[in-house]
Structure 1
Amino acid sequence: MKNSIAERVSDFLKNHPPFDLLDAKKLLNIAKEVVIIYLEKGDVLFKQGASCNNHFYMVRNGAISLTYSNNNAQEIVSMSDAGDIFGVRPLIAQENYKLTASAHEESIVYGIPIDSFRLAAENNSRVYKYLITAFATNAYDAYTTKETHEIFVDYLPSNSRDIANFQTANYTKKPVTCSVNSSLKEAALKMSENKIGYIVVIDDAKKPLGIITNSDIKNKIATGIFPIDTAVTNIMSSPVITGNKNLTVADGQLQMIKHNIAHLCITKDGTVNSKLVGVLTNHHILVALGNNPTAILKEIIRAKRTKKLRNARLKADTLLKNYLEQNIPITHITKVISKINDALTVRAIEIALPKMPTPPPVKFSWLSIGSQGRKEQLLYTDQDNALVFEDVPKAKYKETQDYFLELSKHVTKSLNKIGFEYCEADMMASNSAWCKSISEWKNQFKEWILSPGEEAVLLSSIFFDYSMVYGSQNLTDQLTDTIYEALEESNLFYKMLAQDAVKSPSPLGFFRQFLVEKNGEQKDLFNIKNRGLMPLVDAARLLVLTKHIKGINNTFERYEKLAQIEPNNKELYESCSYAFKALTKFRTKHGLKHNNSGKFIDLETLSNEEKLKLKRCFKPIDEIQKTLTLRFDLKTLPI
């Protein structure tokens, strides 16, 4: 007899992680054990401090508020909506409830017995990974749990010399095959039709028995040793050498060298006794090794034309995709792509200089600003740059500036051809406003700091994130010294930067719903840059300025440095660093998937698991903004 209630429960669960990762039979077994709980508004499901029971929970309908009681004051920590799970932490940590769960409105909740769930999810690592994420999301003290660190941790093999070697090798997923009963003529025709230089001989179970290459046909057929209609078994090289689906580039290369082969059969379990799933060739290895940072940088250095630089940047895009697919640490990815972007700019300048009528009249420094200045530009975005040149006599100023404006036009044009769009706001060195002498730049920075206004705060938030790409380091150092000298004379500037840093509140509304764009072309889309990344960027910049920290522009590195010098806020700063890295990775993957900047996200395209991970990243934003509000006494800021 069918259990209609269990089937209805199963139908709901299967649409939400982690239950969508289980097969139907196991899911139905869990559903049969689920306790269905009806709650009126205000009813308490479990109380803070109580012993945990053997269930965790999922909201079927309504909303459950999770609150924390501190000195008789109730603080809403989070709100769980339909499809959200909660109450996981006590089961994993084996501790009492840290929060109180109560119905925010009339609600139906499923109580899921952990023992039944464990039995069904046994050996399913993806399910447990999801539960750990939920564990961290529902933890009140999100910055001290070991699991929080595990979610955002970056992993890099300790024995890695070249990260390319540790990528999982790309191989042909649909190899050309022939039956063991085929003739060589049939096999050769198939090779010709598919325009490929090899064919794998398989048995009825699709296990690889041998491989035939163009060389085999040339050496054994063209020489008359065997006729063209001979059996493939007379020609094939056997047994084949095999590898598993997770074979790294380095291991694949070693196998080929060891056995003096150019083709490696990839099988289901890595042995000749399982189904063929692909073929790795020496061409795959060469592509992987040729598309690594060292090779790309060499190509950039040797480039004599912008077209060659564009080709190198396209290879960097492929490298970026591969790194993300292989789960290479975002810290490593950022450093590699930033190095390539800087090298492209340097070479663009070197190519532009011979086009000028004379060598530069004085020393100069080319600065990257904004995201490239912070070494965070992973996707193709618009270019932001500036140029500073040595002081010259007043009579020579315009002539000197015109020279560098002309040089900058050549460079920005090349960068545009490479793929970096012109800045819509014209914040480029080809604009006379951003191509000045060192004295003019010093005066500009002092004006922004000592006479702060809305525009000054906006511009300084862009231009203070600069890094020298080419030219005189001394000029860049002078700019940095000027900033900190001027900051000694102005406390108001810090306050205005702080106000700007908290202008975009937490990306989640009261009911933990994402705050999306209300109108315009991006209506109903989520702006991950403005609502997620920039609040963390702005807060980090402000805090390092107050601490007079020089030479660290990258946002996650700024937070890591702050964690060192403010141990009492170490956990908060580390959580901000982790969140920034996770959001950067999310935006980059989204941008690559949709071939855009990744700035706007259609939430309907995300799974519940992805939404959960995003929400987890937003908690540090709220905490760091609260810290800034208190530290800079923003409520007293004059309007």
Structure 2
Amino acid sequence: MSLESNLNSSLFFTQKVGELHSRDLKIIPPDMPVFEAAKLMSAEKVACLFVGDPSIKGFVTDITLRDKVLAQNLSAEVPVGTIMDSKLVAISNDALLYEALLLMFKTKTRYLLVKDKDKYIGLISRNKILTAQYQGPFILIQSVKQSQHTEELAQKWKYVPNMVYRLVERGLRAQIINQIITTINDAIALRVIENTIREMGPAPASFVFMVLGSEGRSEQTLVTDQDNAIIYEDKANEQRELVRDYFLEFAEKVSAALDTIGFEFCKGGYMAKNPKWTHSLSHWKRNYESWITSSTPETMMKYATFFDCRAIYGDFTLLDELRAFMDQQLQHPTEKFFINLGTNALQYEPPLTFFRKHIKTFKIDGEEHFNIKHTMTPIVDLTRLFALKHRIFETNTGNRIEKLQSIGVFSSKEAKELNHAYYYLMGLRLEKQSLSMIRKGQKPVNYVAIKELTKVQMVTLVEIFKVIKEFQLKIKIEFTKNIF
């Protein structure tokens, strides 16, 4: 059995009915003529309507209309109450999907009412459940693309932690899992953007919506906040205010929808809804020029954040033009530019004790932990630093390592060590995050409890941290001119 099939089966036997997006109940009065019911089905794109006044007495489906009206040559004026099926079957939203399907087979029905305690809250179909059985990553991505509403997208995002855990459990490489999460995130963001444009009307200027940070590097985990920005084309003076107002409102709506879905607002404010990060192309060029010219520790952090950017919607040539401008600027950087970038890259040190034999920890609720994100950050920072020096515009850390090896910056051994270290940490991070969400029902965090690690994992982590230390020494010598 393939990895995809294994994953699908696991989800099918662990996923609850309430986790599957159920349709709202469409209730019609018993005296509604069947032709009106058929028109409503067509308009709402549903195959089942419930009959009640207001309590539900029965239901009619497209098959009901075919078998009891058309096949019997009845008038289209007959009330639905006379041809409805009164055999109602319901299931709790806490039941598992396989239980719902078994109930359908047992009762010979295609539809189940979904109950939350004693209240009907929705409808679930056999097709929906069978589709969920095959809700692997690629079908999930496709279903996201077909989703119409924010609530539906939020429901899709809830599938992801379980899916990620199963992928990790079955040994799929962390780099591939990152790509899958990124693709799902992109698909959700694109749907939100498209819905927002449909609501607001066409944009008054060409623009590109770009994502930053881990999302920009295609290294998204389950700790998901928003990092994004907008570049729009320069317009004549009389249009500037109109254009800017549109994109700020657009960004506000997009961010609000993403937050509802589960992508929290960035605490640092690196979002397009922040007026600082929605600008014309010429303004963005001035931003990058001022950052590289001033080269303060603060502006270097901004430069690093916005260097890890990736276009996901709109006119990608706007970002291409900005990168071409950055490339020119990087050919003549100030002396302190790389010194401060190098200093920033040394901000987080691997958590090793003085003699480098044990992991340095801190306590949370009396238990020893370390921050796995902070242990990965030095690898991200050092590869970005070398990428900037050699004007490599790859955003993904793994791709940067590969590119830097190809031009001789890293030896084959160094590249392998960095790659192995980074994706080992990434795999561990994804595993712990997905577990905390699935088993504990908690928000994912970047803290790893020492007691949850095996001896092999502990030894591996210590060796990885030693490798990172060696690379940080290389940065000190090459960029900061300081080995102490």
TM-score (norm 2): 0.71
1:149-160 matches, within 5 Å, as none
Structure 2 Cα separation of the partners of residues 313 and 196 of structure 1: 18
Q: Is the 8 A contact 2:232 2:280 kept in 1?
A: yes
Instruction: Identify if the C-alpha distance between structure 1 residues 521 and 438 changes in structure 2 by more than 3 Å, giving closer, same or farther.
Output: farther
For residues 420 and 224 of structure 2, the distance between their equivalents in structure 1, rounded to whole angstroms, comes to 23
State the distance in 2 between where 1:291 and 1:635 align: 53
Conserved 8 A contact 2:223-2:445? no
Alignment of 1:11-30 (within 5 A): none
| Cα shift readout 1:305-342 (whole Å, capped 9, x = no counterpart) | 00111122222333212111111111211111111111
User: 1: distance between equivalents of 2:237 and 2:275?
Assistant: 16
- SS of the equivalent of 1:426 reads coil
Aligned-pair distance for 1:446? 0.9
What amino acid maps onto 1:439 in structure 2? S
Q: Return the match for 1:334 from 166, 170, 178.
A: 178
Structure 2: 5+ residue runs without aligned partners?
15-94, 109-125, 438-442
Q: Show the counterpart of 2:411.
A: 569
Q: Does the Cα contact within 8 Å between 1:334 and 1:377 map onto a contact in 2?
A: yes
Partner in structure 1 of residue 221 of structure 2: 378
RMSD of equivalent CA atoms: 3.3
Given the superposition, is the C-alpha separation of residues 431 and 521 from structure 1 closer, same or farther in structure 2, using an over 3 Å criterion? Answer: farther
2:4 to 164, 179, 190: 164
Q: Which AA in structure 2 matches 1:475? A: L
- Alignment counterpart, residue 348 of structure 1, candidates 161, 176, 192: 192
| Structure 1 residue 565 displacement after superposition | 1.8
Report the CA distance between 1:444 and its aligned residue.
0.2
Q: For this pair of structures, how many residues does the alignment match?
A: 377
Letter in 2 for 1:630: I
Relative to total residues, which structure has the larger helix share, 1 or 2? Answer: 2
Provide the rounded CA distance (Å) in 1 between the counterparts of 2:242 and 2:105.
Answer: 67
The aligned amino acid for 2:470 is E
- Identify if the C-alpha distance between structure 1 residues 215 and 422 changes in structure 2 by more than 3 Å, giving closer, same or farther: closer
Summarize the alignment of residues 548-559 of structure 1 with structure 2, pairs less than 5 Å apart: 548-550=391-393, 552-559=394-401
Alignment of 1:435 with 2:278, yes or no, is yes
Look up the equivalent residue of 1:569 and give its one-letter code. S
Structure 1 counterpart of 2:372, one-letter code = I
- What residue is the counterpart of 2:135 in the other structure? 291
Where does 1:249-328 land on structure 2 (aligned, <5 Å)? Answer: 286=130, 290-328=134-172
Q: Kindly tell me: are residues 392 and 523 of structure 1, through their superposed partners in 2, closer, same or farther at Cα, counting changes over 3 Å?
A: farther
Distance 2:295 2:450 in 1: 38
Q: 1:482 aligns with which of 322, 325, 332?
A: 325
Q: Which runs of 4+ in 1 moved over 4 A?
A: 166-169, 195-198, 212-218, 285-289, 520-524
- Is the Cα contact below 8 Å between 2:178 and 2:218 reproduced in 1? yes
Asked whether the equivalents of residues 8 and 134 of structure 2 are also in contact (C-alpha less than 8 Å), the reply is no
Deviations 1:9-55, CA, capped at 9 Å, x for gaps: xxxxxxxxxxxxxxxxxxxxxxxxxxxxxxxxxxxxxxxxxxxxxxx
In structure 2, what is the equivalent of residue 501 of structure 1? 345
Structure 2 CA distance, aligned partners of 1:217 and 1:633? 73
In structure 1, give the amino acid aligned to 2:435. K
Choose 1 or 2 for highest CA Rg: 1
Q: For 1:515, what is the secondary structure of its paired residue? A: coil
1:82 is aligned to none
Q: Please point out which of 421, 442, 449 is paired with 1:579.
A: 421
> Is 1:395 matched with 2:238?
yes
Please state whether the residue corresponding to 2:445 is helix, strand or coil. Answer: coil
Which amino acid letter does the alignment assign opposite residue 513 of structure 1? H
Unaligned 5+ residue runs, structure 1? 1-156, 174-194, 199-211, 219-281
Query: Structure 2: how far apart are the matches of 1:636 and 1:295?
Result: 51
Question: Which string of whole-angstrom CA distances, capped at 9 and with x for unpartnered residues, describes residues 115-149 of structure 1?
Answer: xxxxxxxxxxxxxxxxxxxxxxxxxxxxxxxxxxx
Give the partner amino acid of 1:611: M
Structure 2 Cα separation of the partners of residues 306 and 214 of structure 1 = 29
Q: Which moved more, 1:323-332 or 1:366-375?
A: 323-332
Deviation string, structure 1 residues 175-196 (Cα, Å, up to 9, x no partner): xxxxxxxxxxxxxxxxxxxx99
Q: Assess, with a 3 A threshold, how the Cα gap between structure 1 residues 607 and 404 changes in structure 2: closer, same or farther.
A: same
What is the CA distance between 1:478 and its match in structure 2?
A: 1.2
| Structure 2 counterpart SS, 1:538 | helix
Is contact 1:412-1:430 (8 Å) kept?
yes
CA shift for structure 1 position 197: 13
Q: Percent of counterpart pairs with the same letter?
A: 29
In structure 2, relative to structure 1, the CA distance for the partners of 1:559 and 1:522 (3 Å cut) is: farther
Label 1:167 to 1:393 Cα distance change in 2 as closer, same or farther (>3 A). same
Aligned-partner Cα distance in 2 for 1:419–1:217: 37
Aligned CA distance change for structure 1 residues 510 and 353 (closer, same or farther; 3 Å): same
Q: Say if 1:164 and 1:288, in contact at 8 Å, map to a contact too.
A: no
Deviation at 1:481, TM superposition (A): 1.2
Tell me, in whole angstroms, the C-alpha distance in 1 between the residues paired with 2:174 and 2:349. 26
Change over 3 Å in CA distance of 1:571–1:347 after alignment to 2: same
- Partner residue of 1:622 out of 469, 475, 479: 469
Q: Is the 8 A contact 1:563 1:571 kept in 2?
A: no
- Quickly say closer, same or farther: Cα 1:317–1:577, change in 2 above 3 A: same
C-alpha distance in structure 2 between counterparts of 1:565 and 1:437, whole Å: 35
Describe the SS at the equivalent of 2:279: strand
Q: TM-score, normalised by structure 1?
A: 0.54
Partner of 1:445: 288
**Alpha-carbon contact 1:197-1:214 (below 8 Å) kept:** no
Q: How does 1:165-180 map to 2 (within 5 A)?
A: 165=5, 167=7, 169-170=9-10
